[in-house]
Structure 1
Amino acid sequence: MKIVRWLAGFAAAASLLAAIPVTAQPYPNKPIRLIVPFAAGSASDILARMIGEPLSQALGQPIIVDNKPGNNTTVGTELVATAPPDGYTLGLLTNSGLAASPGGLTSGVRYDPVKDLSYITLVASVNYVWLVNNDVDAKTAPELIKLIKANPGKYNYASGNTGGIAYGGYLKNAHKLDVTHVPYKSTPQALADLISGHVQLMVADVPASLSMIRSGKVRPVGVPAPQRYVLLPDVPTFAELGLPTPPNMDGWWALVAPAGTPDAILDRLNKEVVKILKADAIKAKLLQSSFMPTPSTRQQATQYQKDQLQVWKTMIKDLDLKVE
């Protein structure tokens, strides 16, 4: 009888314990994987490590940067889109994988950047500038356009990334320029050939070209933006030079998670990353590396991606752009 009573008491205790809800461990309780769709040493990799260290301190867990380049960033972007939505796989992704490639620039895209991803915050952006070799007899964008039109077929223009392809294609088509596109796999390689004169023109991102502009190795002739750049205050905008301003096709980064990630996790990450991006020390560090910090709400980041997707779809169709 004692055994029966003991078993009955044990069963009652077990039943009581089962009725008590198990409290989940607070997020995060293990390392977080941050996918970067570019190789180590790239601008994206540098940016990831700049924000990864303070984010790790804020969350109390390691942030492990995982470089997954390939197919114009779609390989890394797809890894984020198909990961478990638990907050332990994030992506520092770019306009290439979130707008340009799914907009039609790259074939083989197997994810929907609107439906398959949750946007935490915008992180940073980079501007573009129209450059020429120093032997080109033009000091401004209008002078360059006039020179090209007077010498059809004489000039080549380089591109080293998605933005360079798009801006270069826009300028060629908008102004009906008879120039030859020479695509490169990387911006540094294209800039080296611009300096040596193998190509004469290029639209390049400011982080890659700023030191060469400041040292006088290449000449800026204008920026395709409504306002002058903080990092290039002496270079006039297209509007100031009397030229139409192209759609915004600058480079940008967003911190994203797989769709279905709980709002509480997304809100926590937004709060911490926005705080990091607004800190004076981090802002100064980003600007020193030519990144423009762009902290945002989750809603702003989501809408910006949708707007940029439409911009790229339109430009890709109108200009018949493609990754070569």
Structure 2
Amino acid sequence: MKKSWMSGVAAFIGLFAVFPAQAQDYPAKTLTVVIGYAPGGGVDVPARYFAAKLTKLAGVPVIVENRPGALTNIAAAAVARSAPDGYTLFIASGNATMASNPHLFKKLPFDPVKDFTPVTTLFKIPFFVIVSSNSSVKSVSELTAYLKEKGDTGNYGYAGTFTLAASELYKTMAGLRTVAITYKVPQQSMAALISGQLDFLIQDATNVIRQVQAGRMRALAVTSQQRSSLLPDVPTMQEAGFAGFDMLGWFGLYLPANAPAPVVEKLAGWFNQIVAEEETRKFLANVGSEPFPGSARSVAELQARELERWGRYLKAARVEPQ
């Protein structure tokens, strides 16, 4: 009996002793960064940038594994089933994979809270309310007045969940009857805006920043709570009179559930070191993004708020789960 009790104590102590060893020896082999997007564009570009930077800090190869499909649910499910040893990393959209997808699907192959360990935020993508440069509209207040005058002949375009929800939120708060027009990809809606077929768009900086800088589009407001460093002279929707309007695209780093705390801390430290570099700021600006440093606690708190908000946004946009 005494021997059995002593064995149990030894096993208990050994369980906790393994964590410092894991942190000290970690990583001892190749790290895999999983993303839910196809190679060559979008999130794949910053993911490979971070992977290359992490290789230098961690001293081991870091590869990017693309698992596109089902609005990133395939990638998320694969990571959720992986061993929680710190060798499978997940760069995920906090506002989409972890917040809006649970409201878009009746059944998910993962739980965004229970199946993942938050590590840190990485970068954010601002969205802007834009009109054609040929439009006479110069502000959100002017756009609102213009659309009220047009009634149900006014329109906007969208090619994704975020742009639909943001546009419908503006429409509801402004009391508009504006009609939504669906496009397969953002580029189609942008071409329609420039040609005068649409009254306005809400679109991410990745797609519109160069169009605005080239003078083909005019940015009226940014949808986030704070102004964007990419277009610092553009006011927020809150500054434009829409109190509480706060929608932001952002990406974070996650591990499978129950990952060791020392490993989480080490990864958070490395990624925040990368995010803090001036080279990273310039790289992200070039792809329409901004640095978004954080911690395991901050990303968990943000995700909880986003889950609640996106439930409201999608309900207001009358988007039914499939």
Give TM class, smaller chain: 0.7 to 0.9
- Quote the residue 1:8 is aligned against: none
Q: Does 1:283 align with 2:281?
A: yes
Shift of residue 107 of structure 1? 4.1
Q: Matched residues in 2 for 1:29 and 1:301: separation?
A: 27
- Quote the residue 1:101 is aligned against: 101
Aligned AA (2:247): M
Q: Does 1:45 align with 2:44?
A: yes
Number of residue pairs matched by the alignment = 302
Aligned AA (1:118): T
Going from structure 1 to structure 2, the CA distance change for 1:215 and 1:97 (only over 3 Å counts) comes to: same
Q: Does 1:242 align with 2:220?
A: no
Q: Matched residues in 1 for 2:185 and 2:78: separation?
A: 23
Residue 209 of structure 2 aligns to a residue in which SS?
helix
CA contact (8 A) 2:128 2:223 kept: yes
Shift of residue 36 of structure 1? 1.0
Q: Matched residues in 2 for 1:36 and 1:305: separation?
A: 18
Shift of residue 245 of structure 1? 4.1
Tell me the alpha carbon deviations over residues 101-121 of structure 1, each in whole angstroms, 9 at most, x when there is no partner: 11x124442211111100111
Q: Matched residues in 2 for 1:212 and 1:322: separation?
A: 33
Question: Where do residues 36-75 of structure 1 align in structure 2 (5 Å cutoff)?
Answer: 36-75=35-74
Deviates more, 1:30-39 or 1:186-195: 186-195
Normalised to the residue count of structure 1, the TM-score between the two structures is 0.86
Question: Where do residues 252-263 of structure 1 align in structure 2 (5 Å cutoff)?
Answer: 252-263=250-261
Aligned AA (1:172): K
Residue 177 of structure 2 aligns to a residue in which SS?
coil
CA contact (8 A) 1:169 1:321 kept: no
Question: Where do residues 103-118 of structure 1 align in structure 2 (5 Å cutoff)?
Answer: 104-118=103-117
Kindly report the root-mean-square deviation, in angstroms, between the aligned alpha carbons of the 2 structures.
2.2
Q: Matched residues in 2 for 1:197 and 1:322: separation?
A: 31
Gap regions ≥5 residues in structure 2: 1-16
Tell me the alpha carbon deviations over residues 47-88 of structure 1, each in whole angstroms, 9 at most, x when there is no partner: 101211010111112211111222222221222112121212
Q: Matched residues in 2 for 1:134 and 1:297: separation?
A: 40
Going from structure 1 to structure 2, the CA distance change for 1:231 and 1:322 (only over 3 Å counts) comes to: farther
Q: Which runs of 4+ in 1 moved over 4 A?
A: 21-25
Residue 25 of structure 2 aligns to a residue in which SS?
coil
Going from structure 1 to structure 2, the CA distance change for 1:195 and 1:72 (only over 3 Å counts) comes to: same
Aligned AA (1:274): N
Q: Matched residues in 2 for 1:281 and 1:88: separation?
A: 26
- Quote the residue 1:269 is aligned against: 267
Q: Matched residues in 2 for 1:297 and 1:240: separation?
A: 29
Gap regions ≥5 residues in structure 1: 1-20
Going from structure 1 to structure 2, the CA distance change for 1:107 and 1:193 (only over 3 Å counts) comes to: farther
Residue 157 of structure 1 aligns to a residue in which SS?
strand
Bigger Rg over Cα: 1
- Quote the residue 1:317 is aligned against: 315
Going from structure 1 to structure 2, the CA distance change for 1:281 and 1:173 (only over 3 Å counts) comes to: same
Normalised to the residue count of structure 2, the TM-score between the two structures is 0.87
Going from structure 1 to structure 2, the CA distance change for 1:305 and 1:243 (only over 3 Å counts) comes to: closer
Aligned AA (1:116): D
Q: Does 1:209 align with 2:197?
A: no
Q: Matched residues in 1 for 2:155 and 2:256: separation?
A: 41
- Quote the residue 1:87 is aligned against: 86
Residue 72 of structure 1 aligns to a residue in which SS?
helix
- Quote the residue 1:151 is aligned against: 150
Deviates more, 1:183-192 or 1:295-304: 183-192
Going from structure 1 to structure 2, the CA distance change for 1:87 and 1:225 (only over 3 Å counts) comes to: closer
- Quote the residue 1:18 is aligned against: none
Q: Matched residues in 1 for 2:59 and 2:43: separation?
A: 23
